[in-house]
Structure 1
Amino acid sequence: MIQRNLKSEIVSKLTAKKSEIKCKKGQQFIIEGAPVNGLFFILNGKVKVFRTGINGREQIVRFAKNGEIIGHRGFGSEEYYSIAAIAIEDTILCYFSKNALQQVLRSDPTFTYDLMLFYANELNNSEAKVKLLSQMTVRERVIDTLLFVHRKFGDRNGYINLPLTRKEYADYAGTTEEQVIRVFSTLKKEKLIIAKAKLIGIRDVQLLKKEISEHNFYLDS
């Protein structure tokens, strides 16, 4: 979005005001409930975005990688972040302050329009995901999560290039850690996946796709 508008003099001035932040693996850079102060763009690395759900349980909203925005859902009329974000590997972030972004939005119609389209797409994906998950069985939700993470981060040495705990899979799929362990065990017996500690490898992507094809597994978030 910012890259597409770099030729704009106003946006160029914004990029000159950016700050670069280096986060170690496990370092939290957005705290849920903290005052909104700006947006983060991932220059290099991977990030987990989450919020506190019912009974204080962690609910993973999304995983993000290079080139993606973090903190945009708290940017606007809200005064506090409704989400938290933590680096799941060493990550380099580009930070733009709230004041600097608001100046650009008031002065550059093209950039403002692009941001509006971005938010509209985010809202559509979020609503579609809620509907999709409500129609899926636990097994289907876990499979959908595996395929999503595989599609987003790819393979490395035969395993998905994002080591996650069983709890993290559960927190994204909207189920329990015990249910994820059961589904993974069944998928291993069916020779659809392989597992090595936190590493999961998909042996037959097409067969997994067929299991949830009626739900449109291509939905990304």
Structure 2
Amino acid sequence: MSYSCIDCRNDNCLIKKNIEHIEAFDAQLIQQKHTVQCKKGAQFIMEGAPVNGLYFVYKGTVKVLKTGYNGKEQILRLSKEGEIIGHRGFGTGETYQIGGTALEDTILCNFSKSMLATVLQNVPKVAYEFMIFYAQELNRSETKVKTMSQMTVREKVIDMLFYLFRKFGNPLNNTIELELSRKELADYAGTSDEQVIRILSALKKEKLIYTKSKTITILNFEKLKKEIAEHHFFLDS
């Protein structure tokens, strides 16, 4: 089953935002899109596999990860509707340097390297949007590397909670509406399962958060923000 870019509700998607410019150049290009449906837990990008274009999340949530030298997974980011997966491999190499796994049943739109190259070479508005996107990604990556190296483990866990809330939080009840295992939380924070469990337990006892199974609710934003305020690290995504 294919999903139309015209009917897509993800207005932050770079393809959706520029659909009129792309179709004005070539109305048939968008038809080259492939739709990929992934069940929860399915891996749609294998680390080291040949690059076959970019993936855009049409519906669902995925984790983007990289394997360390010791075999431990590091979750680089969590992506939701409208966001791009695999962009670091596009135009720079023959293989993906990351892996991608669906955290829930997910629908992905895949655009080939050749189709995207045609668009970027012929539609200036799209090329400009991608340039801005890559510049923002670079800034986020550099800021994260610098700041995370200076944070304590507790600060990393707190920052992770804010990241999750910004992307998946419900402001009506302050609950993070994405259930992750303690291992997945540790893989994102760059620490061990035991440390995440210990810190979440401490934050709960201090009445800064509330946890029930995999659900986390933030109870006191201001106190948590003060703990990491000196790092000035509040990325949008």
What TM-score results when the alignment is normalised by the length of structure 2?
Answer: 0.88
Q: Which moved more, 1:156-165 or 1:92-101?
A: 156-165
Match of 1:91 among 106, 118, 123: 106
Distance 1:12 1:119 in 2: 26
2:75/2:188 contact within 8 Å kept: yes
Does residue 176 in structure 1 map to residue 221 in structure 2?
Answer: no
- Give the deviation of 1:3 after TM superposition: 2.4
Distance 1:42 1:157 in 2: 26
Structural RMSD (CA): 1.5
Which residue of 2 is the match for residue 205 of structure 1? 221
1:25/1:87 contact within 8 Å kept: yes
Structure 1 residues 136 and 12: alpha-carbon distance in aligned structure 2, compared to 1, 3 A threshold? farther
Does residue 62 in structure 1 map to residue 77 in structure 2?
Answer: yes
User: Secondary structure of the equivalent of 1:124?
Assistant: helix
Structure 1 residues 186 and 81: alpha-carbon distance in aligned structure 2, compared to 1, 3 A threshold? same
Does residue 218 in structure 1 map to residue 231 in structure 2?
Answer: no
Which residue of 1 is the match for residue 165 of structure 2? 150
Matching of residues 125-144 of structure 1 within 5 Å: 125-144=140-159
1:125/1:220 contact within 8 Å kept: no
Which residue of 2 is the match for residue 165 of structure 1? 181
Distance 2:26 2:82 in 1: 17
Structure 1 residues 86 and 11: alpha-carbon distance in aligned structure 2, compared to 1, 3 A threshold? farther
Structure 1 residues 145 and 10: alpha-carbon distance in aligned structure 2, compared to 1, 3 A threshold? same
Which residue of 1 is the match for residue 5 of structure 2? none
- Extract unaligned runs of 5+ from structure 1: none
- Give the deviation of 1:16 after TM superposition: 2.1
Distance 1:13 1:215 in 2: 48
Amino acid at match of 2:165: H
Matching of residues 39-54 of structure 1 within 5 Å: 39-54=54-69
Distance 1:110 1:159 in 2: 38
Which residue of 1 is the match for residue 7 of structure 2? none
Does residue 192 in structure 1 map to residue 208 in structure 2?
Answer: yes
Structure 1 residues 139 and 37: alpha-carbon distance in aligned structure 2, compared to 1, 3 A threshold? same
1:5/1:11 contact within 8 Å kept: no
User: Secondary structure of the equivalent of 1:163?
Assistant: coil
Distance 1:196 1:152 in 2: 20
User: Secondary structure of the equivalent of 1:2?
Assistant: helix
2:47/2:98 contact within 8 Å kept: yes
- Give the deviation of 1:41 after TM superposition: 0.6
Amino acid at match of 1:204: N
Distance 2:130 2:163 in 1: 25
Distance 2:38 2:159 in 1: 29
Match of 1:80 among 82, 88, 95: 95
Distance 2:26 2:135 in 1: 21
Percent identical among aligned pairs is 58
Does residue 7 in structure 1 map to residue 20 in structure 2?
Answer: yes
Q: Which moved more, 1:161-170 or 1:3-12?
A: 3-12
Structure 1 residues 11 and 173: alpha-carbon distance in aligned structure 2, compared to 1, 3 A threshold? farther
* Number of equivalenced pairs: 221
Does residue 28 in structure 1 map to residue 51 in structure 2?
Answer: no
